[in-house]
Structure 1
Amino acid sequence: MKFRQLAAFLLSSLVLLSGCATNNSQEETYESTRVEGVTKKQVDDSSSLKSREEPKAKQGTTEKAKMAKVQQLLDEEYNEEGYGIYVESLVDESSASMNGNRLFFAASTGKLPALYYTQKMFDEKKIDPNKKFPYVDDINEVEDYSYMRAGAGVLQDEELGTEFSLDQIMEWTAKHSDNQGANFLGYYGGDKFGSDMQKEIARIIGRPWHIPFEVTPKENALLMKAIYEQDGKLVTYLSKTDYDNERIAEYIPKDVKVAHKIGDAEEFTHDIAIVYAKNPYIISVMTEDAGSYEDTSILSKKVYDILN
């Protein structure tokens, strides 16, 4: 009897010891798997993050390299006092410049502030785009801000007292480079080119703004960039103008939208544009006794080919 009890006791002890060993082995296996699993997840997460960041970094590097080639082009072929050129990528804000901070007579590019600010009033619901205002000669008499009555545009052919919506006048100003149209926008849309409008334009260009007739290529580019960021009807109007077959837009592929504002006055010829290419950018070209419309077209195509 004692012998059987002893045998049973020894057998149960062996079973118990075997179970403990198995549990320990399982725990060790679990711990190993858990540690390896965490490590692998960390590696996977790190690799995933790196794979997401690499295209952005690569794109930024590529854009900067392309813009460096644009700068080389400007240095080698357009290093003249009469040229003012500023190009900025809308992908990474890299830029190239030749006399980009030189003040030029703005000609009709000085209408960009009135166009931009009117669109801003629409966007902020401060003015109804379809509300009509009377065409009065007072719009042409805001000291230091109004364009001359004659010159470009169609509003001058309308009868005084006729009412027009600001949206209609904004389209005419963009499409026809309308002198009195810009005056109309500044008078009604900008509260007679008032202090709020002056402060907003100053914020964009980075200096006090008290007159629309002097501007640098870079400042015009900044105004056009602000219009790009609005992405309102104004962009459509600026891409369907009387001047789309010349200067910046002429040799750009026809399926690429170009929204632009030209300016001409005696020896001054300008064009400021948003080019909606695969890699979009702003190009501002201002000249004084330098080059021609065709020269601007050729420059524009060279820049387009480098950036795209």
Structure 2
Amino acid sequence: MPAVNRERKHNSNPMGKRKHWYVPCIAPALAALLLAGCGATVDLNEQATAETAMAVQWVPNGSVYATAAEELEYWSTAQKLESALAATRETAPSVDLNELLDEFCAAQPGSFSLYLQNPATGESYTYNTDALYYPASLLKLPYAFWLCGQADAGTLDLEDELPNQFRGRLSDTALQAYNDAETIPAKAAMRAMIAHSDNNAVTLLTTHWPANESSGFQQFLADYGFAYAATCDLTPQTGIIGMASTGEFANIVSAVYDYLDSGSAAAAYLKTCMLAADHDILYVPDGVPAAKKYGSWDYAYHDVAIVYAKHPYWIVCMTDQGDENVDFPEEPTQAMQTLGQLVYEYWNP
């Protein structure tokens, strides 16, 4: 199947921080599943009230309730369920994570794929991981990983200065500090590419170090199990092209997870870039570090995160829900918020 060039048309896509989408039904729903999973008994009247409560979309001014008594009953039931959840958290979770995620993934529109892993326990979850997607800017992560590996081997130098082919055209981009400079440090370009998904930075880097068959990048991907590695290029001529699956990207993210703390200077710098990623679509609580990268284009919204919580884990999620004109479409944004919260609260109660 021929690769299609779908590089984002704008030169840069700097983004401001978004406020997290709060998902009020997650805790009560998870509590109910936990109660069922551990064999606890619940009064049928209370259970019916809980089901009704979870079906209500909360509105801050309480306008969805017919009476004050109805609102009081809702919050009373929710409090009981939250108390039950808190009590259950005292012991190891008895709810089946696979069951929770199967239901969530099956409810998503279009094609939706997920791979997550808890490296400490080896616990993992996969869903539809063989489905193929246009990787969009997610392909920048293996490209950066590949560059760092070559820097470690001494075959390239990340201290190189790159000719600034965009001189005078970088205002309001992630590289605006170099708008009038004749050259741009390769490290600055890498940070802009990973932390801000800047496409000018990709052009600067791939002009100097193209990612294609002749440079060895496609073989690098093939070594990580990319079945269609021959379709994947990042060059000034092709832009970002290729096809890949969530399972294949999971191979990369698993390797990156180990690499970031390997002790090399390049690894430490890549980790700094990923931790500085300025999008927060996949839910991670405030104050919890996460090394991230995303990709967004027509029929492609993808998110990757290595979450450095008390109990670390990593997630690769790929979907066909993207829009070339919107970096963060509403539907996948809500899905990523719900998914991230569910997984975080399961492994870090």
TM-score by length of 1: 0.64
Deviation at 1:174, TM superposition (A): 0.8
Letter in 1 for 2:182: T
Q: 2:344 aligns with which of 277, 294, 304?
A: 304
Corresponding residue pairs, total:
228
Q: 2:333 aligns with which of 290, 293, 303?
A: 293
Q: 2:223 aligns with which of 192, 203, 210?
A: 203
Equivalent positions of 1:3-152 (< 5 A) are: 69-79=96-106, 80=108, 81-136=110-165
Q: Which has the larger radius of gyration?
A: 1
Matched-pair contact (CA < 8 Å) for 1:279–1:307: yes
Matched-pair contact (CA < 8 Å) for 1:274–1:282: yes
Q: Give the equivalent residue in structure 2 for 1:282.
A: 314
Q: Give the equivalent residue in structure 2 for 1:18.
A: none
CA–CA separation in structure 2 for the residues paired with 1:241 and 1:155 = 15
Partner SS state of residue 96, structure 2: helix
Question: Relative to 1, partners in 2 of residues 1:293 and 1:177: Cα closer, same or farther, differing over 3 Å?
Answer: same
Q: Give the equivalent residue in structure 1 for 2:294.
A: 262
Equivalent positions of 1:160-239 (< 5 A) are: 162-190=182-210, 194-210=214-230, 211=232, 212-231=241-260, 232=267, 233-239=269-275
Matched-pair contact (CA < 8 Å) for 1:199–1:208: no
Letter in 2 for 1:257: P
Aligned-residue Cα RMSD (Å) equals 3.2
Matched-pair contact (CA < 8 Å) for 1:84–1:285: yes
Larger fraction in helix: 1
Deviation at 1:124, TM superposition (A): 2.0
Q: Cα deviation per residue 1:52-95 (whole Å; 9 max; x = unaligned)?
A: xxxxxxxxxxxxx9799332222112115421111122224432
Matched-pair contact (CA < 8 Å) for 1:133–1:165: yes
Partner SS state of residue 115, structure 2: strand
Q: Give the equivalent residue in structure 1 for 2:20.
A: none
Letter in 2 for 1:174: I
Deviation at 1:106, TM superposition (A): 1.2
Letter in 2 for 1:285: C
CA–CA separation in structure 1 for the residues paired with 2:97 and 2:140 = 28
CA–CA separation in structure 1 for the residues paired with 2:173 and 2:153 = 28
Deviation at 1:170, TM superposition (A): 0.5
User: Is there any run of 5+ residues in structure 2 with no aligned partner, and where?
Assistant: 1-91, 233-240, 261-266, 323-330
